[in-house]
Amino acid sequence: MSPTLRSQLMGVSAFGSLAIAGVLLGGDDGLEGRKYVAYYDVVNVLTVCDGHTGKDIIPSKKYSDAECDALLQQDLAPVQRIVDAAVKIPLSQYQKAALYSFTYNVGRHAFIRSTLLKKLNTGDIKGACDELRRWIYADGQSWKGLQNRREIERELCLTD
């Protein structure tokens, strides 16, 4: 994790795990890599801003920072509910933020069925965090960007 990102995450830590996840994912330096105009991602899904997908995307529109921030908050709210409901043990706000980021990226069904969640709920936090390293594939290919993302999420996941 870069010193800049670490500093930004520490700066919002007083505002809780959702704020940490927002900084982790959003903006030009976020893990999602903010794009103001819609594009097709590596698995051919129409995407804009910080990984937002859905039928509400206007392909030719240039989105503003405020619109991207609003979409990210809108998208993270259900992720937070899913993760918080599925996890049965207490976690630090950094651990929760890592799981929000992961779930935002892989989707709720993948998270709910994951070995990561099973290990987490048995109290094997290190084992669960190590599982993040397995989630580096998209469309059957290993991606360097996903490897980097999972290492950052793992580092946060291992933070008390």
pLDDT (tens digit, 9 = 90+) per residue, 9-46?
888 888 889 999 999 999 888 999 999 999 999 889 99
Distance (Å, whole) CA 42 – CA 92: 32
pTM of the model: 0.93
Phi, psi of 19 (to 5 degrees): -65, -40
In order of 35, 91, 92, the CA distances from 13 in angstroms are 25, 14, 11
Domains of the chain: 1-156 (1.10.530.40)
- The residues annotated as belonging to the active site are 32, 41
pLDDT (tens digit, 9 = 90+) per residue, 91-112?
999 999 999 999 999 999 999 9
